[in-house]
Chain A
Amino acid sequence: MSEFKVNHRDGEGFSVLELKGYLDAHTAPDLETTFQKLLTDKKFNIIVNCKDLTYISSAGLGVFMAYIEDVRKNRGDIKLTNMSPKVYNVFDLLGFPVLYEIYKDEQEAATKFRQQLKKG
Chain B
Amino acid sequence: MSRIKKAATLIASGVLLLFVFMYDVVRLTVELGDAGFLFLRELLVVAVMVGAFLLMREYARKGIGAAIKETGRLLIVVVASLVVAAGMGMLPGIGFSEGTSMPQNSVTAFFSLVVSMVVGTASIQTILTIKELVYHKRKRGTRRNFLTYVVLLLATAGFSLPVFANDLAILGTTTFILAVLMIVVNSFRQNWIVFLSRREKIYCIIYSALLFGAFLALSLVLSNRTFLQKAILFFSVPLERFVLLNSMYGAVYFGMAFITTLFHLPTAEAYERKQSELSSLHNLGRLVTQVFDFNDLVRTVTHMTREVSGARSAWLELIRQDPNGTRADIVSANNIDEGEIRIVMEGTEFSPRQFVMESKKALMIDDVGADRRTRHLKGRGLPVGSLLSVPLVSHGSLIGILNATKEISYGFDQDDSDVLTTLADHVTIAIENARLIEQSLERERLKQELMVAREMQKRLLPDRFPANPAMDVSAHSEPSLEVGGDYFDFVHLDEETVGIVVGDVSGKGVSAAFYMAEVKGIFQSLSKMTRSPRELLIRANQTLRENLERKAFISAVYAVFELGTGRVVLARAGHCPMVLVSRESNRLIRPNGLGLGLTDGELFEQSTEETVLTLKEGDVCLFYTDGITEARNGEGREFGYDRLVELATEVKDLPAVEIQNRILSEIGAYCGRSGPEDDLTLVVVKWLGKRPKDSKAHQGDHHE
Do the two shown chains form a genuine complex with each other? yes
Among B551, B575, B599, B636, contact of A93 (Cβ-Cβ < 8 Å): B575
Find residues 361-408 in chain B having any chain A CB closer than 8 Å to their own CB: none
A95 touches B595 (CB 8 A): yes
Contacts of A69 in B (CB 8 A): 550
Is the Cβ of B574 less than 8 Å from the Cβ of A63? no
Question: Could you mark each residue 41-70 of chain A with 1 if its beta carbon is under 8 Å from any beta carbon of chain B, else 0?
Answer: 000000000000000011101110110010
Complex-state Cα separation, A40 to B261, whole angstroms: 85
Judge if B517 is at the interface, Cβ distance under 8 Å: no
Are B550 and A65 within 8 A (Cβ)? yes
Task: Give the chain B neighbours of A98 by CB distance below 8 A.
Answer: 594, 599, 603, 607
Contact with A along B533-561 (1 / 0, CB 8 A): 00000000000000000111101000000
B626 is an interface residue with CB less than 8 A from chain A: yes
**Chain A contacts for B603, CB-based, 8 A:** 98-99
Check if A25 is an interface residue, CB within 8 A of chain B: yes
Residue among B577, B595, B607 having the largest count of chain A Cβ atoms under 10 Å: B595
Tell me which residues across on chain A come within 8 A of B573, comparing CB atoms: 95
Q: How large is the interface on B (under 10, 10 to 19, 20 to 34, 35 or more residues)?
A: 20 to 34
The reply on A2 being an interface residue by CB < 8 A is: yes
A94-B504 contact given A58-B553, A69-B550, CB 8 Å threshold: no
Interface residues on A, range: 10 to 19
Residue B598 CB within 8 A of the other chain:
yes
Q: Which residues of B contact A66 (CB under 8 A)?
A: 550-551
Min CB gap A66→B, angstroms: 4
State whether B598 touches A65 (Cβ < 8 A): yes
Bound form: Cα–Cα A63–B181 in Å: 103
Contact A99 B551 (CB under 8 A): no
- Closest Cβ of chain A: how far from B509's Cβ, in Å? 8
Which A75-98 residues have C-beta < 8 A from chain B?
86, 93-95, 98
Given A25-B508, A58-B626, decide whether A95 and B551 contact each other with a Cβ distance below 8 A: no
Separation of A59 and B511 alpha carbons in the complex (Å): 12
Residues of A with C-beta under 8 A to B506: 58-59, 61-62
Q: A95-B574, A95-B607 are in contact. Are A58 and B507 (CB under 8 A)?
A: yes
Chain B residues within 8 Å of A63, by CB = 551
| A94 and B574 within 8 A (CB) | yes
Output the least CB separation between B152 and chain A (Å): 94
CB of B172 closer than 8 Å to a CB of A: no
- Evaluate whether A62 and B594 lie within 8 angstroms (CB atoms) in the complex, with A25-B508, A99-B603 already known: no
- Say how far B517's CB is from chain A's closest CB, in angstroms: 18
Determine if B297 is an interface residue (Cβ-Cβ < 8 Å): no
| Minimum C-beta distance from A96 to chain B (A) | 8
Identify which of A59, A65, A93, A99 contacts B576 (C-beta below 8 A).
Answer: A93
Tell me which residues across on chain B come within 8 A of A86, comparing CB atoms: 638
Q: Are the CB atoms of A65 and B594 closer together than 8 Å?
A: no
Q: How far apart are the CA atoms of A62 and B549 in the complex, in Å?
A: 10
Determine the chain A residues whose CB is within 8 A of the CB of B550 once the complex forms. Answer: 65-66, 69
Known contacts A61-B553, A62-B552, A98-B603; decide if A25 and B507 are in contact (CB<8 Å): yes
Q: A63, A65, A99: which has the most chain B beta carbons within 10 Å?
A: A65
Task: Give the Cβ gap from A58 to chain B, nearest Cβ, in Å.
Answer: 4
Interface centre among B550, B576, B598 (most CB of A within 10 A): B598
Task: Give CA–CA (A99, B573) in the complex, Å.
Answer: 14
B553 touches A94 (CB 8 A): yes
Chain B residues 240-269 with CB under 8 Å of chain A are none
Q: What per-residue 1/0 map shows which CB atoms of B309-353 lie under 8 Å from chain A? A: 000000000000000000000000000000000000000000000
Nearest CB in chain A to that of B594: its residue? A95
Bound CA–CA A9/B362 (angstroms)? 54
Pairwise interchain contact B595-A94, C-beta atoms closer than 8 A? yes
> B residues within 8 A CB of A99?
594, 598-599, 603
Alpha-carbon separation in the docked complex, A65 to B599 (Å): 9
Flag if B598 contacts A94 (CB, 8 Å). yes
Question: Which residues of A pack against B, CB within 8 Å?
Answer: 2, 25, 57-59, 61-63, 65-66, 69, 86, 93-95, 98-99
**Chain B residues at the A interface, C-beta cutoff of 8 Å:** 504, 506-508, 550-553, 555, 573-577, 590, 592-595, 598-599, 603, 607, 626, 630, 636, 638, 678
Shortest beta-carbon contacts, A-B, top 6: A95-B594, A66-B551, A58-B506, A62-B551, A94-B574, A94-B595
30 inter-chain pairs at a CB distance below 8 angstroms, sorted by A residue, are: A2-B636, A25-B508, A57-B630, A58-B506, A58-B507, A58-B555, A59-B506, A59-B507, A59-B508, A61-B506, A61-B553, A62-B506, A65-B550, A65-B551, A65-B552, A65-B553, A65-B598, A93-B555, A93-B575, A93-B577, A93-B590, A94-B555, A94-B574, A94-B598, A95-B573, A95-B595, A95-B598, A95-B607, A98-B603, A99-B598
